[in-house]
Chain A
């Protein structure tokens, strides 16, 4: 048994334990300059996609990450899974610092953490049938040599995602499945290695809520019944409120507010969260009214505004907001936020 495996065996993580610790995580991308531009600058600009982010993930929870397009959600997901290397900061999964693992150790750890890119139309090879798609991670990990050897696992994960009887679906191709079924296959594939930790990244273009509902319910059941931990990345705050135990709100590479779904939605502390909630439409014609929407669009993460990144769009900007970056502070319960106004209100 390798060192990592030995370490992973040591502690049994219980529901509610901290399963992942993210500390001061940062991911910068270089900004491409023209040759002339690069001669003129000693300090080349960077795009701060994830900027000094810290949080814990608890075992068995569904943690939602919400925010506008381009705020860094996918980059955060890729970095905590080490699908891309961080610029700085630390990520520990079950007390193992994943930034320090060598490639072999990392490959072993991959069994524990999986990602679902929830775009059933793009993330699936149209020439592979369902059993080939689902057994792929098993074959990569060397746990099965052929599709046939993986049959039992494929069958059981298809049952887990309620595609019953599994034999009915195993040799179908993606175009022979509905959108919802394709999503289930994507989930089944992620489950094949029996992971403890799954990141589900949902694109904006994800159309049909009625299809999406199926997969969300499934996620919820798996987290409740098997103690699987989910990080659910979405634009849809309305669904996040019902699915997630906790919600983190991101703006320009930073988490600006975090807490239980109830804390964040019922009592938002950060003006950005308030605006996001206000922009969500209610499916009820007797409660009409689109509340005041934030001005303008999300600024470039290359040259983000000084102080609080929201200050050019915030309806409550004070002088200090332009000068100093607000600290990410704990308020009541587990509710955290980074806003000078919230801090002042607390006194």
Chain B
């Protein structure tokens, strides 16, 4: 049994103009100790999905069905009180998008971690301080800097501190939303390296959200590619990068720049993602897809196994795409 099993999860935002279908029938698993990457264009629903799994919806967010099972227990339908006590932060914790700006500027960094621990565990303060120092050390910050304020930290150090905080209650799953996007390559490499070591050491599972396919390729075991609120391709990173079977995933993978590849034009997918208030009928990708036909405009493709066990795609023409025809060549 996987650590986390999400099935048919639907989370919409209520707005004056109707429902924004940001997470629309999404299913995936995260195995113990493994990392799942979530990729997709800006606005496709990645952060919304993370919020939905953590039950941290904004006021206008609503569940419209689905289940979230962690360790065999339905965590979506348990009372909020119990979820807060037993699940959020202690079983699954989160590093939010732009989290390094979320540290409280008037409190010492170390104290903020101590607070996080004491909120969830009844242990003596000294023990919490000890653990906070250990966590700083773990993410590569000298514990001597425990008493410093956020403004005394660089962006990279703040991000590390936020990661340390997410580990405060020994979670088994960490959900990281664009943890390094606002950082330099060098700092990004340092942090992702530290995270990989941590995960190995603590047998942590991870859900890593990023638009950056190279980060997923280097740090994750499997990948879910999202488009307009849905997962369109899902599988091990080896299968999805090596042999993408959904036109959108293929386009993303092919157009992502590789510093070591032969010099070539930077490619991009023409068009732009649909309005989630009124997504296109049939396959949501059809207005941008070079293979789209009648069926695509009317029948919604379901996520199904293609090519290999565990390699899934939601496309009527996945078998054609799978043969590796250069559908994006122009």
Contacts and interface: CB of A to CB of B under 8 A. Distances in A.
A290 interface: yes
Contact of B42 (A211, A261, A283, A285): A211
Contacts of A210: 41, 211, 252, 255, 268-269
B263 A68 contact: no
A206 B214 CA distance: 16
B218 A281 contact: yes
Interface in A172-188: 178-181
Given A209-B256, A239-B257, A290 B193 contact: yes
A279 B217 CA distance: 14
A276 B188 CA distance: 11
Interface string B261-295: 10111111100110000000000000000000000
B184 A282 contact: no
A212 B42 CA distance: 11
Contact of B268 (A213, A265, A288): A213
A209 B254 CA distance: 12
B156 interface: yes
Contacts of B241: 283-286
Q: For the complex, would chain A's binding face be called helix, strand, loop or mixed by DSSP majority?
A: helix
Interface stretch (A3-11, A39-47, A214-222, A315-323): A214-222
A94 interface: no
B212 A209 contact: yes
A239 B267 CA distance: 10
B259 A279 contact: no
B41 A282 contact: no
B253 A204 contact: no
A237 interface: yes
B186 A283 contact: no
- Which of A236, A237, A290 lies at the interface centre, i.e. has the most chain B CB atoms within 10 A of its CB? A290
A285 B238 contact: yes
Interface string B220-248: 00000000000000000110011000000
Interface string B146-190: 000000001110000000000000000000001001111111111
Given A178-B273, A204-B183, A285-B217, A217 B266 contact: yes
Nearest to B157: A297
A122 B184 CA distance: 20
B308 interface: no
Given A181-B272, A209-B212, A213-B267, A282 B189 contact: no
B102 to A, nearest CB: 15
A275 B256 contact: no
Nearest to B37: A285
A290 B181 contact: no
Nearest to A208: B42
Given A204-B184, A284-B258, A286-B242, A209 B211 contact: yes
Contact of B218 (A179, A242, A288): A288
Contacts of A261: 263
A211 B188 CA distance: 21
Contact of A277 (B184, B214, B253, B259): B259
A261 B260 CA distance: 12
A286 B237 CA distance: 9
A276 B241 CA distance: 24
22 contacts: A68-B185, A69-B155, A179-B272, A207-B181, A208-B211, A210-B268, A213-B268, A216-B268, A235-B185, A238-B214, A238-B259, A241-B263, A275-B186, A280-B185, A281-B214, A284-B258, A285-B217, A286-B238, A286-B241, A290-B192, A293-B193, A297-B186
7 A-B pairs with least C-beta separation: A213-B268, A281-B214, A178-B272, A279-B189, A238-B259, A283-B214, A285-B237
Given A242-B266, A281-B189, A290-B189, 4 more contacts: A213-B269, A241-B259, A279-B188, A283-B217
Interface of A: 68-69, 178-181, 204-205, 207-214, 216-217, 220, 235-239, 241-243, 261-262, 265, 275-288, 290, 293-294, 297
Interface of B: 41-42, 154-156, 178, 181-190, 192-193, 196, 211-215, 217-218, 237-238, 241-242, 252-253, 255-261, 263-269, 272-273
